[in-house]
Chains A and B, each alone.
Chain A
Amino acid sequence: MIHNPTNEARNTSYCRVRAAARSLFVLFVSLVFALFQTSLTAQNLAGDMALSKVLIEGEDWQMVAEGFGFTDAACTDDEGNFYFMDLGKGTAIQKISTAGQVSAFLEGVPKCSGLKFGPDGRLYACTQGPTGNLAGTAKKQVVALEVPSGKLTVLADDVQPNDLVVSHKGYVYFTETGKGQVTIVDAQGHVRVGATGINAPNGITLSPDQGTLAVSEFRGAAVWVYRILADGSLDVGAPYMTLRVPVGKTDSGGDGSTTDSAGRYYVTSHLGIQMFDATGRLGGVMEKPSAKGCVSVAFAGAGHGYLYACASDRIYRRKLQAKGVLFFKAPPARP
């Protein structure tokens, strides 16, 4: 064989390439092995829903509106616009568009401590008595407001509603905090008892499949869950989640609550927003947006990927690795 420097160079570089490829292959095998182990460890942690998996590095609370008296009744629509009421000094239901623009949505309505859109497009509300031009006429009621006229239909009179949630079937579940009761009313105004014996029920939300109702205790430390039967009634309740309570207190201050599409529950409380996984285990406590507290939350904004919070005189929002659920829509069929 004739000695050919060019050939040798070619061979050398060829060999280098092969060696490098081989090393890379070995590295690849090791990496796959390591990743495989990691993913199996992750399987062992099935259901491990730490708060850290929901929070996004560098995405803290952002103030989106201010100058109110006392904000409450967080809710959203299909597009991700955010709605709330200023219980302190407002006479209108406020809207914050996904672009961040604040406007009066429905004016001259009673004070609403709970708001949710129903499957019929109406806005359902727990009213706390008169404001503005309705002074002297409105009582504590559960009502449905037509959009955009604001025409009000009373569904439940002589009740003490605090907060509500509306299912895609049109059943309205509302907390009567003083009575320790969840009450159900349908679009025809037929009122019935849902569940009793809850220590100051306050926040109320559903599971993504709308088969379970969750209710937070304000004076106790439990979040109760109930099965929702086909006719909308509730049964087999259990104190499924336990809220963390401030040292020296017996009341958690459990308040407005919401759900994400993975079935996690977010419950506002004295200590912050407490997140639970679908099996009722506390995943972590999110800091309140401000020291003034936070009583109501809802997923809204683009893709319903932001948690909006009613925090006293201000509204905040925070991007999360989680998406909200629209209960006025039928849940997607399970694969």
Chain B
Amino acid sequence: MDFTQSCPVNHRLAATREISTPGPALDRVSSPRPPGRVEKWRLTLGLIWITVAFLTAQRALALDDYQLGPDSTSQVGVPRGELSRHSFASSKIFPGTTRDYWIYVPQQYEATKPACLMVFQDGQTYAHSNGLFRAPTVFDNLIHKKEMPVAIGLFVNPGEVRPAESGQTARSNRSFEYDSLGDLYARFLTEEMLPEVAKKYNITSDPTGRAIAGISSGGICAWTVAWERPDAFRKVLSHVGSFTNIRGGHVYPALIRKTEKKPIRVFLQDGANDLDNLHGNWPLANQEMAAALKFMGYDYKFEFGDGGHNGIHGGALLPDSLRWLWRDYPN
């Protein structure tokens, strides 16, 4: 589930479209019709059309045909923020890890005014200009329309421990950082990453001005950070979040129901065709999260579509979800 490397989704859509209109192609491969056997031919033709209809219906019914809207596309006359790439290799909380991160700074940023902050896990997935999310472009458009505040984007990749010798595999730290419960990753952000950003930029200390987002394991990670440190982050955006038992995260609905309500605003997205595997059932887990948040009276929104374990639906929803999360800031 490494979204920074694999993005099979587009291939599937392409393939679906290709295969879902096979009628003419099949016509072309059919043989010259033997005389006087029209009925047989009709039967075959019928069979073909039934199949075509089935495949087309399957495509129409399913599966992630969510599209990016104009807010996810660069618009003429909208100032474009700056995206810069950095790397961080001096973590004491995750010793030995190295990682890339990106900082997005909107044109509207003024050093004298504390900016809001939004931190994205699997940063590359969200920051990529041709990806499923295109968060910097969405920020440009929404900030320009004053539909979200001036916010700095911090896009952080998971760490890896590089091997000592060539030919050896790096230790992926993604699951350890993202799926683990507890405050380790929250401390990594607040004690190590944010001070890096604060060296150059003026970031608000108001937790309602600080949001955190992620996909899959990055989704549960975002929730865990706010759950552990609502004094640091109070807005959460989770895409196909892994609230399952990869490393014990399935307990959150139960914890939420029996813990005094925390001042966290949450946007959850998932799809009916999300994963069902050894770690758990993603659609059920996200519904359980939503039910627990509802039961406790959290300020939450749950968008449950028909997609799978990918960022298609979440990407299409990103502008709306950001509008919802930031709707009344600074209140």
Contact = CB atoms under 8 A, between A and B. Distances in A.
B34 A15 contact: yes
Interface string B5-45: 01010011001000100100010011100111100110110
Given A25-B26, A36-B15, A281-B247, A236 B2 contact: no
B29 to A, nearest CB: 8
Interface residues of B, number: 55
B1 A46 contact: yes
Interface stretch (B120-128, B163-171, B224-232, B322-330): B163-171
A225 B168 CA distance: 15
B167 A16 contact: no
B165 A230 contact: yes
Contact of B309 (A29, A44, A284): A44
Interface string B266-284: 0000000001011100000
B55 interface: yes
B227 to A, nearest CB: 19
Interface stretch (B172-180, B186-194, B206-214): B172-180
A15 B164 contact: no
A20 B12 CA distance: 29
B66 interface: no
A51 B6 CA distance: 24
B278 A236 contact: no
Nearest to A18: B31
A242 B182 CA distance: 13
Contacts of B44: 18-19, 22-23
16 contacts: A12-B37, A15-B37, A15-B41, A18-B31, A26-B48, A33-B19, A40-B12, A50-B278, A227-B161, A227-B163, A237-B95, A242-B247, A278-B169, A279-B174, A282-B247, A333-B167
Name the prevailing secondary structure of the A interface residues: mixed
A238 B172 CA distance: 12
Contact of B1 (A47, A210, A278): A47
Contact of A30 (B26, B51, B278): B51
A334 interface: yes
Name the prevailing secondary structure of the B interface residues: loop
B47 interface: yes
Nearest to B29: A25
A26 B96 contact: no
Given A26-B48, A43-B8, A44-B310, A281 B2 contact: no
B94 interface: yes
A333 B6 CA distance: 24
A229 interface: yes
A45 interface: yes
A9 to B, nearest CB: 12
Nearest to B181: A242
A47 B94 CA distance: 22
A29 B21 CA distance: 12
A48 B216 CA distance: 14
Given A227-B96, A279-B172, A211 B31 contact: no
A281 B246 contact: yes
A209 B163 contact: yes
Given A23-B44, A36-B15, A211 B164 contact: yes
Contacts of A22: 26, 30, 44, 47-48
Contacts of B54: 30
A15 B36 CA distance: 10
A211 B169 contact: yes
B95 A30 contact: no
A238 B180 CA distance: 12
B253 interface: no
